[in-house]
């Protein structure tokens, strides 16, 4: 088999290579299992592309590609879009104009100790954390999309994407249960950032010791004290989160200026 070289990385950084590899996998592998998109599926995909095109803090060539894909989806009068047409646009039409999403999968912060571990699901969490933070940092970015002033824009889009397209159906079911339980408590873009953090920690807790845990990357309640000491407090001998500190940490960690271009092809 192919030996993949281990790439050094810092836990305190987010890697563009993970985000771009995730988008590549989403557009060219995950979506490919749907021959045609129509109805709710098509709407879910359009909304996903809208949110990513407007909020993804990526390289110009990739953001342009997403914007072109969005314009094309919005301008098409079709009620049904064959997946091959989307793939053709992503692969060929774009390359002519220099808009290009690498087909090389390059996991960095999402590397696993075996190919079956981490990778894509890790990049998807990372992407959605980045998007909730972008929505909070750039309140005007979703103007004229139908999502303006909607603090739930990213989370609802994520919920529908996960439920419709994410290959792990059990994950989709769990995520839907969490959304039904408490998504209605989210009243601001800051709440949205914290909601996703809280739910991700719930998933981490549930998966401790499970098959999907990479022994080299044990599930933890995140951020650990070494990453954010002020996020942790003790009240009457019990651990509590300082959520104001957590929010500030998430905005820094998942903010555009903490995304490293290292190892991006």
Interface positions with ligand FAD (CB under 6 A) = 110, 118, 121-122, 124-126, 129, 162, 168, 170-171, 174-175, 197, 200-201, 203-204, 207, 210, 212, 214, 217, 222
The rounded distance, in Å, linking the Cα atoms of 17 and 21 is 6
User: Which CB, 25 or 222, lies closer to ligand FAD?
Assistant: 222
Residue 153 CB, shortest distance to ligand FAD, in Å, is 17
User: Which CB, 34 or 198, lies closer to ligand FAD?
Assistant: 198
User: Which CB, 132 or 264, lies closer to ligand FAD?
Assistant: 132
User: Which CB, 89 or 246, lies closer to ligand FAD?
Assistant: 246
Q: How far is CA 42 from CA 63, 68, 78, 165, 169, in A?
A: 21, 17, 10, 11, 19
Pair 82, 170: CB distance under 8 Å? no
User: Which CB, 89 or 135, lies closer to ligand FAD?
Assistant: 135
Pair 251, 134: CB distance under 8 Å? no
Tokens of 218: 């044990």
Number of other residues whose CB lies within 10 A of the CB of residue 14: 24
Element (H, E) at 252: helix 243-253
Residue 250 CB, shortest distance to ligand FAD, in Å, is 7
Residue 122 CB, shortest distance to ligand FAD, in Å, is 3
Q: How far is CA 168 from CA 23, 174, 200, in A?
A: 17, 10, 16
User: Which CB, 54 or 129, lies closer to ligand FAD?
Assistant: 129
Residue 34 CB, shortest distance to ligand FAD, in Å, is 18
Residue 119 CB, shortest distance to ligand FAD, in Å, is 8
Tokens of 72: 């094309």
Residue 84 CB, shortest distance to ligand FAD, in Å, is 27
Helix 153-164 / helix 189-207 crossing angle, nearest 10 deg: 40
Residue 120 CB, shortest distance to ligand FAD, in Å, is 8
The rounded distance, in Å, linking the Cα atoms of 83 and 143 is 28
User: Which CB, 57 or 99, lies closer to ligand FAD?
Assistant: 57
Taking the mean position of all CA atoms in its chain, how far away is CA 198?
Answer: 15
**Hey, which residues does 238 pair with through a beta bridge?**
235
């Amino acid at each position: 088999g192919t030996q993949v070289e281990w790439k050094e990385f810092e836990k305190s950084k987010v890697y563009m290579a993970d985000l771009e590899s995730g988008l590549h996998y989403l557009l060219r592998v995950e979506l490919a299992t749907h021959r045609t998109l129509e109805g709710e599926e098509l709407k879910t995909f359009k909304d996903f592309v809208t949110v990513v095109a407007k909020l993804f803090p990526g390289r110009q060539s990739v953001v342009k590609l997403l914007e072109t894909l969005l314009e094309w989806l919005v301008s098409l009068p079709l009620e049904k879009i064959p997946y091959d047409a989307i793939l053709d646009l992503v692969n060929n039409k774009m390359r002519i104009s220099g808009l290009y999403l690498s087909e090389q999968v390059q996991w960095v912060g999402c590397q696993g100790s075996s190919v079956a571990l981490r990778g894509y699901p890790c990049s998807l969490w990372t992407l959605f954390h980045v998007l909730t933070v972008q929505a909070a940092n750039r309140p005007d970015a979703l103007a004229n999309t139908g999502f303006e002033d909607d603090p739930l824009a990213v989370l609802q889009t994520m919920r529908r994407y996960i439920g419709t397209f994410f290959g792990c159906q059990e994950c989709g079911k769990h995520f839907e249960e969490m959304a039904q339980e408490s998504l209605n408590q989210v009243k601001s873009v800051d709440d949205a950032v914290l909601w996703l953090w809280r739910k991700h920690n719930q998933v981490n807790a549930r998966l401790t010791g499970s098959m999907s845990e990479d022994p080299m990357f044990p599930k933890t309640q995140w951020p650990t004290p070494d990453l954010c000491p002020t996020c942790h407090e003790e009240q009457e001998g019990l651990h509590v989160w300082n959520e104001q500190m957590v929010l500030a940490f998430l905005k820094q960690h998942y903010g555009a200026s903490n995304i490293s271009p290292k190892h991006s092809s």
